[in-house]
Amino acid sequence: MHINLFLMGCGHHRAAWRHPQSSVEQLGDIRYYEALAQVAERGKLDAVFFADSGAAGNVSDGSWWYLEPLTAIAAMSRATHRIGFISTVSSTFYTPFHAARLLASLDHISGGRIGWNVVTSMFDAEARNHGYRKMPDHDERYRRAEEFVQAVSDLWDSWDDDALLFDRQGHYADPGKVRAINHQGEFFHVDGPLNVPRPLQGHPVLFQAGASEQGRALAASRAEAIYAVAYDLPAAQSYYRDIKRRVKAAGRKVDVPIMPGLVTYVAATEEEAKAKQRELDELLPADASLRQLALFIDQDCSEWELDAPVPPLPSLENFSGPQGRYSTILRIIDTENPTLRQLLGRLAAGGGHCTLVGTPETIADQMELWFCNEGADGFNLMPPSLPGGIEDFVDQVVPLLQQRGLFRRDYKGHTLRDHLELTRPGCN
């Protein structure tokens, strides 16, 4: 299976930064992130992943972001040797040339270990920091994303692999192997060529995480690996089978790995693991939890009664926000019929992603169950607290997966494409 570490502040639990032993004071210190990447590399994980946002959010609730991810990755890649690095880059707020140049540069700096998580961004608060009054509508964002990916790919291919000559008596590069792309589309006009030679991987690996119809279509046509939100195995299987079918229908021969998010609380006994979870849950103020829920469901819920059932929510078809997380919330409500307080607890770490609380053996059992039953090709680890959450997983769960023949004991290659068993694309 493939396993990435999804880094987020002090951890994915909304209260992780409040814990007396948290690393909150180190969030601006690149050595904190380098050390986390080194732990993940010791566990032979495929990559470290950063999400990103164009807005600060409510600063009272803690910060998911501190250092800009691409800048941090440049440093982290120099402190590691084999592990990959993936960052979100928004197709709504960047230009193709800017994104292509940044990612190509990182691929060269890291020795071919970079991936790009293409997103369309989600919130009006982000849009207002980037020259928009509000986010463009859903369909427009995905049309732009499709064109954006094409233009970026063309820019990476604007240099042939063997274009550089370094002929001190002649050409630095062969003029016949560096060309304009002359892209003219609905959203972008890009002449090219790129001012960075072709990335070492040909293209940095393209990740995508879309649950809407347009998101699934983009994933099927373009993605080389996919992040998913799945509350339980049946939900994971439904998404997994649909995406695999779409990839095949698109005529693609690549086996696109699907990696749902996974939150783990690991301890020697189930009681100890539950105590870890409870310790973090009890640190989270109700108002912070309600603000998180309001973000996910796109409506104010500050006046809702905590110990009453969750009020009716709009259907998925009538919801205009990010649909992956929202559909998971609807599934939790439909499956568990929770009170509002109980729902907030389920969302506290990971926001509805699968959460496993138990011993290394029980967690490895569930991961194996998903992996062997069309639920996942791997997982995007979302430790509730850091660094403890990833150290526990690497030291206690990874050896079990290795013993069962489910996870590598060492890297077989040097690039992220090698880790994910993806072929290197040729120039178009």
Per-residue pLDDT of 304-316, as tens digits, reads 998 899 999 999 8
Residues 56 and 320: beta-carbon distance below 8 Å = no
pLDDT of 377: 98
In the chain, what percentage of residues exceed pLDDT 70? 100
pLDDT-derived band at 326 (thresholds 50, 70, 90) equals: confident
- Residue 129's nearest CA partner among 52, 185, 212 is 52
Phi, psi angles (nearest 5°) of residue 223: -65, 145
Q: Is the pLDDT of residue 94 over 90?
A: yes
Query: How many CB atoms within 10 Å of residue 2?
Result: 21
Strand, coil or helix: 284:
coil
pLDDT of 319: 86
Residues 74 and 33: beta-carbon distance below 8 Å = no
Q: Is the pLDDT of residue 365 over 90?
A: yes
Q: Which whole-number Å values give the CA distances from 218 to 146, 233, 330, in the listed order?
A: 7, 23, 24
What is the widest separation between alpha-carbon atoms in the chain?
A: 79
pTM over 0.85: yes
- Residue 264's nearest CA partner among 275, 272, 273, 256 is 273
Chain mean pLDDT for the chain = 93
Strand, coil or helix: 37:
helix
Which residues are CB-neighbours of 304 under 8 A, at least 6 positions away?
290, 310, 311, 340
